Chains A and B, each alone.
Chain A
Amino acid sequence: MAKTDQHDGAHAPVVEEVTDFEVLEIALRELAIEHGLFTAEDHRRYTQFAEQMGPAPAARLVAKAWLDPAFKELALQDAIAASREVGIDWINGPPTGFGTPSDFTALHVLEDTPTLHHVVCCSLCSCYPRPVLGNSPEWYRTPNYRRRLVRWPRQVLGEFGLYLPEDVEIRVEDSNSKHRFLVLPVRPDGTGGWNEDQLAEIVTRDCLIGVALPKPGVTSNAVRAVHPAVRPAARLVRGSP
C-alpha cells in the first residue's frame, strides 16, 4: 500500500500546536541568556546577519572570474581575498570578527575544464560555504546524497539531470575538514558579449555545488518539491533570500 499521502507536505498530518523542538530551542536560549553565555542582543545581531546570506556573492565571483583573467587567478589562489571583491569580508566581517564559526575561513575555488567536472558534498555532515552561498539546501544534508555521491557520482548527477560524457573526469570534493569549496564552471557557449550581471544570473546555487551546469536562459535551480515549514522563519515570510 502506498503511503505517499502521509508524507506529502500538502497533506501533512495535523501538527500539535507547539513541537518539542520549538520548546527545547526556547528553553535553551532562555537559559543561555540567563546564565550570561550570550545576550538576547547577540542572538538578534547574528540572526540579522544570517538572514542576509545567500548565493549572490558566489554567483558574482564566478561571473567576474569569467570576465577577468586576473580576478580568476586571484579566486583560484586566494578565494577569501576574491570574496572581498564581491562584498564578503569573510574573516573580519561582522558579527564575530573571526568568520562564521561553522564555516571556518578557508575557501577553495575548484576550476572546471572541458574535461574535468567538480561536484561538492560533505559526507560527514553538511559543510558548505555559507558566507558566499547561503544556507545549504535540504537535499545536500541528506544521508542519501552524502552516502551515494562519493561512490556513485555519475548516477547521482544523472538524477539531477546532469549527464557527463566519457571524456569528462568527475572529481568529487568531499568537504570533510576546514576548507569550503565552490565550483567555477566552464563559461557556457552562447554568452559572448554578456556583462557581469547577465553572467551572474545563470550561475545558480546548483551550478556552484556542481550538480548542474550553467546554461543561457536558465536563471534558477531545477524545480523540485519543497517541504513546507509549519512556522516558517521570518525571512521567508518577508521574502528575502
Chain B
Amino acid sequence: MPTSVMHDYVSEMRPALHLLEDWAYPDEINHTLFQAYMKTSHDVGGEPDAPAKFEEKQEEEWELNTFVTCEVLAWKGIWTSEERRRLGNVDVGRTQYNGLPYYGRWALAVARLLIDKHHITLGELIDRVAEVHKRRASGGAQPRSTGDGKGVTRNRHHIEAVGKGDPQCFAGMAGEPRFAVGDSVRIRTLPTFFYTRTQEYVRGAPGTVARVSYETLAPEDEAFNREDLRPEWYYIVRFKMTDLWDGYSGLPNDTLQAEFSERWLEPVG
C-alpha cells in the first residue's frame, strides 16, 4: 500500500502546547490573535493541509431527508439558505465544524433555526429527541398532527422571488454599479465578525473586475435575515495567484476568480 498521511497514527501526531491558564486577560489578546479568533470557521481556503484520499460517499437516508427539510424550510419562507450557512457552518464553532459530518451540521442548523425564531422551544426539542430515541426511530417521522401554517412568521423572499428567481428578484434595487469590467480593484481589509463570504485569503489583494454579476443583499445582511436592507452590486474579480499567495508554487499565469459584494471592493490607481 502506498504511503499515506491518512489513517496512520504517526502521521497524525502533532506537538501541542495547551495553555493551562484558560482565562485570557485583555492585554494578552493582541490584534493578530483577536483576528484569528474572529476568523469564520467555514473560511478554510489556503490553510496548510496534506494530500488526502478523495472519496465518493453513498448518501444516508437521513442525509437526504435533512437536505430536503432545509430546502423546504427555505421554500416555505422560514429561512434563506444564507441563514442556513451561518447557522451550520460558522455558528457551530471550529470543533463541531471540523468534527461533525457535513449533513450533521445541516441538521443542527435546523434545530437552532427553529428555536432561535421561536417556532419551537428547546424543551420541546429535548422531549421529542428523547421520545424518538425510545421508539428507536422505527417507522420514520410520525408527526402527531399537521399544524395550521397560517400564523407562522415567514419571510417576504419566498413570495417575492416566485417567477423571478434569486438574485433576479433584487434587480434594479442597487442603483448604478460603481465598477465596470476591466477596472482595477482591491479587496478591502475589513474586520470580520460572525459571518462573511469574503475569504481571508483575498483581503488586501489587487484584482480586476471580470464580470458585473447581479444585485442582491450582502451576505453579512442576508445571513441575519435583514431583507429590509438595500441590495448591492456583485462582481466577479480575477486575481493572479502570485498576488494571493507568497511563494505560489504553480505557474505565474495561473489565476483565481471569486465574487464579492460592492462594499468589499475599493478602486486602485
Task: Mark interface residues in A89-117 (1 if CB within 8 Å of B CB, else 0).
Answer: 01110011111111011101000000000
Question: Could you tell me if A37 and B119 are in contact, using CB atoms closer than 8 angstroms?
Answer: yes
Main secondary structure, interface of A, reads: mixed
Q: How many A-B residue pairs have CB under 8 A?
A: 363
Question: Could you tell me if B56 and A226 are in contact, using CB atoms closer than 8 angstroms?
Answer: yes
Partner of B147, one of A6, A37, A106: A37
Interface size on B, residues (CB 8 A): 117
- Interface status of A177 (Cβ within 8 A of chain B): yes
Q: A18-B137, A153-B254, A174-B256 are known contacts. Are A25 and B216 too (CB-CB below 8 A)?
A: no
Q: Which residues of B contact A138 (CB under 8 A)?
A: 55-57, 102
The minimal Cβ–Cβ distance linking B70 to chain A, given in whole angstroms, is: 7
Residue ID in chain A nearest B57 by CB atoms: A138
A95 to B128, CA, bound (A): 29
Q: A144-B49, A230-B60 are known contacts. Are A102 and B65 too (CB-CB below 8 A)?
A: no
The minimal Cβ–Cβ distance linking A52 to chain B, given in whole angstroms, is: 12
Question: Could you tell me if B74 and A176 are in contact, using CB atoms closer than 8 angstroms?
Answer: no
Q: A143-B44, A225-B53 are known contacts. Are A106 and B164 too (CB-CB below 8 A)?
A: no
Q: Which residues of A contact B166 (CB under 8 A)?
A: 98-99, 101, 104-105, 178
A232 to B144, CA, bound (A): 26
Question: Could you tell me if B145 and A34 are in contact, using CB atoms closer than 8 angstroms?
Answer: yes
Question: Could you tell me if B165 and A178 are in contact, using CB atoms closer than 8 angstroms?
Answer: no
Q: A23-B129, A46-B68, A171-B255 are known contacts. Are A147 and B249 too (CB-CB below 8 A)?
A: no
* Interface positions of A from 103 to 138, Cβ below 8 Å from B: 104-106, 108, 123-126, 135, 137-138
Partner of A172, one of B52, B213, B257, B259: B257
- Interface status of B136 (Cβ within 8 A of chain A): yes
Main secondary structure, interface of B, reads: mixed
Partner of B162, one of A36, A98, A224, A225: A98
Chain A residues within 8 Å of B, Cβ to Cβ = 1-4, 6-8, 17-19, 21-40, 42-43, 46-47, 50-51, 80, 90-92, 95-102, 104-106, 108, 123-126, 135, 137-139, 141-148, 150-155, 159-160, 166, 169-179, 221, 224-236
Chain B residues within 8 Å of A, Cβ to Cβ = 1, 6-9, 42-49, 51-76, 78, 80-81, 84-85, 89, 98, 101-104, 107-108, 110-111, 114, 119-120, 124-125, 128-129, 131-133, 136-137, 140-152, 158, 161-169, 197-199, 201, 211, 213-214, 216, 219, 234, 236, 238, 241, 244-245, 248-251, 253-261
